[in-house]
Structure 1
Amino acid sequence: MKKTNSCTLYVSGMHCGACEVLLDKKISKLDGVKNVKATLSDSKVEITYEKGHVPHIDNLNKNFSDLGYTFSEQPIGQAKVGQLEIAQALVIGIVFIIAYIIVEDTKVFAQFSLSNESTLPTFFVIGLIASVSSCAALVGGVLLSMSKQWNQLYGGKDENKRALPFALFNIGRLVSFTVLGGLLGVIGSIFQISLRMSSVFIIGVSIMMVILALQMLGVSWAKKIRFGFPKFLSRYASNEQNFKGKYMPFTIGAMTFFLPCGFTLMAQTVALTTGNFFLSALMMLTFALGTLPMLGFLSFSSVRLQKNTALSGTFNLLAGLFILLFAIFNVNAQLNVLGIVSASDFARSSSNENDKQQVASVRVVGTGSDMKQLAFIDAVGFEYFPKNITLKAGIPTKLTVNNENVFGCAQAMWLGGLYDEVLYLSGPESVAEFTPQKGKYKVSCTMGMVDPIIVTVK
């Protein structure tokens, strides 16, 4: 039995669990290497190798430079973002901010939030982002490493036949994300997840997004937190040696459902809250379709976006900031659903007096046991008016909502704590009847994106 030695090297450029699997997979293929264990939390890799096959740092840096990894014998301090990367990110960021300001009034982004009621295009966008992250390096690495074997097995120089395994891979991926995504919805239906519980789940997903963004931005403590399936399953799914045969590309594509991508796990968690097989399946299918353009590009051109380290750094900076802002926005929306203090309240307190003076006129009719208070809300476009309503506790209330071309999630009004059913604004007028108890409540849409009405019950 050959003697073995081991060494510990430190790695700069690790962002998430996918980096662990990617490093394990590639280093283990080096001559004389017996075992590899990469750890994101410490940004290091432990290598066990046969005597006489010492892994040289210069060779490792040369082989992994295109993936953005740098090896060292000493702990590497937090990588500093280069001035060029910051400048590129600022220019691109400013362009996006200007574009956002221009289209914000159109409410195009009104349906862009991650929850079990998010639009399918939202999941497509998240898929696009995932497809150019380190997830792409892992899934793309499997594709590229199998290309030679598949080319030989499927016809050599015949381009049509060579394209078949890559097509099977992507079809397998789409099928598994659809079927397994649907099963997540079935699991959610068994537990009958309420809107409030769903909001808690979404806040959890958003916290995951914040950590993922901080990992992409290189924040050291965030790297100590790992999301994903057990390592043994992720490594098995990423090892192409476990899948051989003419129809194995389909199986490999299907197994990518279990690879440790934070974006995938985020979408899977949201799908779980739907409680509906078909909706959950559509969400995960749309997410997978979002990853398809880049994976198709990788499949048929064998080129990865992350190969250019300069562009990779700028992308990670931009994507990290975007995800961070998206997550904060998402948390704020779900706090509105839960009726908890949110950034919307602080924005309201600093807004002009017009919002503060918008108080609904409430009429009290009848006497004794027939007493009832009548309140009115106008739902216009993507807003609810007035911004403040004051009711008396213990008196039956009839709330009438006038619908004036309301759209998006604003069509599903949520009066948490007052009326525990979704009030759908499908006609010109919708009515909710309830008996309020003392306290403060928020009226928003079921996604929490409509600027909430504050209901004070005295």
Structure 2
Amino acid sequence: MSIQKKRFNVYNMTCTSCENRVEKSIKKLTGVENAKADYSKQIVEVLYDDSYCNGEKICEAIEKAGYTVQKPKSFTFIGILIIVAAIVILGFNTSGFDMEEKLNAGSYAVIFMVGVLTSIHCVGMCGGIMLSQSLGKESQSKFDAIKPALLYNLGRVISYTLLGGIVGALGSVFSLSLTAQAVMQILAGVFMLIMGLNMTGFSLFRKINLKLPYSACKFKHKFKSSFVVGILNGLMPCGPLQTMQLFALASGSASKGALSMFLFSIGTVPLMLTFGALSGLLSKNYTKNILKFSGVLVMALGLIMGSRGLILAGVNIHPMKSTTSSVASSKENSTDSSKKSGSNNNSNTNKNNSAVVENGVQTITMTANNRGYSPNVLYIQKGIPVKWIIKGEQLNSCNNAVVSKALNLQKKLQKGENVIEFTPGNEDINFSCWMGMISGVIKVVDNLDTTAESNTSSTSTTSTTVAGNKTPSCCQVE
């Protein structure tokens, strides 16, 4: 008898729950006295009797658990990250495709897809818990046979939703200021990016890990009710689950936090219900690839959350977009003015964007509707008191409040005219909706007349070029 202590590489572990799975698989081998896995280092230390066990059997046990002992190729995932980064950068800095708007609009859809894709991870981590509540129970009907699984998943959905509401409410309590909201969302975005990278297989940030002090798995034999076990499953120290809890926390709203976690949990239900039939059909490599793709979606959610935090902090993360929006808004206003007046006069080109000075006060006007804030780029002159009129035409849960760190402003909008008064300094003033999804900027200039002349000249040059080329634009009819 010879006791050996040896370390083995274990790749594709995505969270600390994977440690338990690897350890249990190895401990089933005859001759193994102990096994201790380390998620951050991607290793497992095994104490075994080489008279009954050897390294080959241990490696087989690791692979049987769904992991690998050979380092996977990472160039594919690096390529994916480069493509994702390129799309995001182009989306933030071009007018052809508004990536941020698409991501923001699809946040809840992305959350649901994360649930669908990570449900394979749920099967691997918690499928045994569900089976322990379902197998070995005599039933007289088909409903009785699936009832434990239904109760277990119902408990999970309720647990996830309640936890989402609780952490979302905590986020609202501790996010009383714009600075706190911005910091919370930025930190949540950073952690989600890190977790997404960990899920895709990168080891750079593996030591940064959120872990609860106890696991719902420890209670699986104590409670007999499938529903109660499902409720306790919400306390599982699972990477994807805790990532979504961070998302709910940063939402700063009990309702939005609950909705986020509800959609995530609903996404995991179908596969959890049918996993018994599918487990024999899906290969280990397939499930790992799906989980890695889910990690990319988690990273996308991190980008969404981080960008919202930066916007709430008063950072203009897409200056080129603002400039383009300004020109587009000017042209649109000019076209509307021309149609109303029946002339081609461009003198009103920038009036709706620039302040109108009267009796020592400059007035700017903006509309809040289902399309956002229009115009979202306004011009004022420094040192002159400003009257900012926001017309609430179509208010929704996103555009119904305007915030600005530069003005220390949190303004709840009402139907009709809303007035905000301030005196500008020398710096531009960034503003957004309270969620950081719709943003804009108030440009502070030295002289409004110079700005108006510059914009009018630019518009005139564009019109002359079109006329000279005799090429009709989308707004022109020959």
Q: What is the TM-score when the length of structure 1 is the normalising length? A: 0.75
Inter-partner Cα distance in structure 2 for 1:404 and 1:190: 30
**Aligned-pair distance for 1:112?**
3.2
Inter-partner Cα distance in structure 2 for 1:399 and 1:165: 59
Inter-partner Cα distance in structure 2 for 1:186 and 1:387: 31
Inter-partner Cα distance in structure 1 for 2:75 and 2:128: 26
Equivalent residue for 1:365?
A: 358
Equivalent residue for 2:279?
A: 303
For structure 1, the 5+ residue unaligned runs are: 114-118
User: Structure 1 443/183 Cα, relative in aligned 2: closer, same or farther at 3 Å?
Assistant: closer
- What are the within-5 Å matches in structure 2 for residues 1-400 of structure 1? 5-49=4-48, 52-54=51-53, 56-65=54-63, 68-71=66-69, 76-77=70-71, 79-80=73-74, 110-113=104-107, 123-132=111-120, 134-144=121-131, 146=132, 150-152=134-136, 154-155=137-138, 159-188=142-171, 190-191=173-174, 193-230=176-213, 233-234=214-215, 237-239=216-218, 242-244=220-222, 246-247=224-225, 249-273=226-250, 277=254, 280-298=257-275, 300-301=276-277, 303=279, 307-342=282-317, 344-348=318-322, 351=324, 354=327, 360-366=353-359, 371-392=360-381, 395-400=384-389
**Aligned-pair distance for 1:450?**
2.3
**Aligned-pair distance for 1:442?**
1.0
Identity across the alignment (%):
26
- Contact preservation (8 Å) 1:382, 1:407: no
- Contact preservation (8 Å) 1:363, 1:373: yes
In the alignment, residue 411 of structure 2 is paired with which amino acid?
Answer: V
Inter-partner Cα distance in structure 1 for 2:272 and 2:114: 14
- Contact preservation (8 Å) 2:366, 2:376: no
Inter-partner Cα distance in structure 2 for 1:102 and 1:199: 28
Paired residues, what number? 417
Inter-partner Cα distance in structure 1 for 2:157 and 2:20: 22
- Contact preservation (8 Å) 2:164, 2:258: yes
User: Structure 1 291/103 Cα, relative in aligned 2: closer, same or farther at 3 Å?
Assistant: farther
- Post-superposition CA distance 1:265-299 (Å, at most 9, x none): 2332343356665554444333322322222222x
- Contact preservation (8 Å) 1:419, 1:433: no
Higher Cα radius of gyration: 2
Inter-partner Cα distance in structure 2 for 1:138 and 1:25: 12
Inter-partner Cα distance in structure 1 for 2:174 and 2:302: 26
Of 387, 398, 402, the residue aligned with 2:391 is 402
- Contact preservation (8 Å) 2:329, 2:375: no
**Aligned-pair distance for 1:376?**
1.0
- Contact preservation (8 Å) 1:372, 1:397: yes
User: Structure 1 400/123 Cα, relative in aligned 2: closer, same or farther at 3 Å?
Assistant: same
User: Matched residue of 1:208: which SS?
Assistant: helix
Equivalent residue for 1:116?
A: none
In the alignment, residue 208 of structure 1 is paired with which amino acid?
Answer: F
- Contact preservation (8 Å) 1:414, 1:421: yes
**Aligned-pair distance for 1:3?**
8.8
Inter-partner Cα distance in structure 2 for 1:419 and 1:81: 46
Equivalent residue for 2:405?
A: 416
User: Matched residue of 2:412: which SS?
Assistant: strand
In the alignment, residue 355 of structure 2 is paired with which amino acid?
Answer: V
**Aligned-pair distance for 1:338?**
1.2
**Aligned-pair distance for 1:243?**
1.7
User: Matched residue of 2:437: which SS?
Assistant: coil
For structure 2, the 5+ residue unaligned runs are: 332-349, 447-478
User: Structure 1 454/255 Cα, relative in aligned 2: closer, same or farther at 3 Å?
Assistant: same
**Aligned-pair distance for 1:9?**
0.9
In the alignment, residue 448 of structure 1 is paired with which amino acid?
Answer: G
In the alignment, residue 175 of structure 1 is paired with which amino acid?
Answer: I
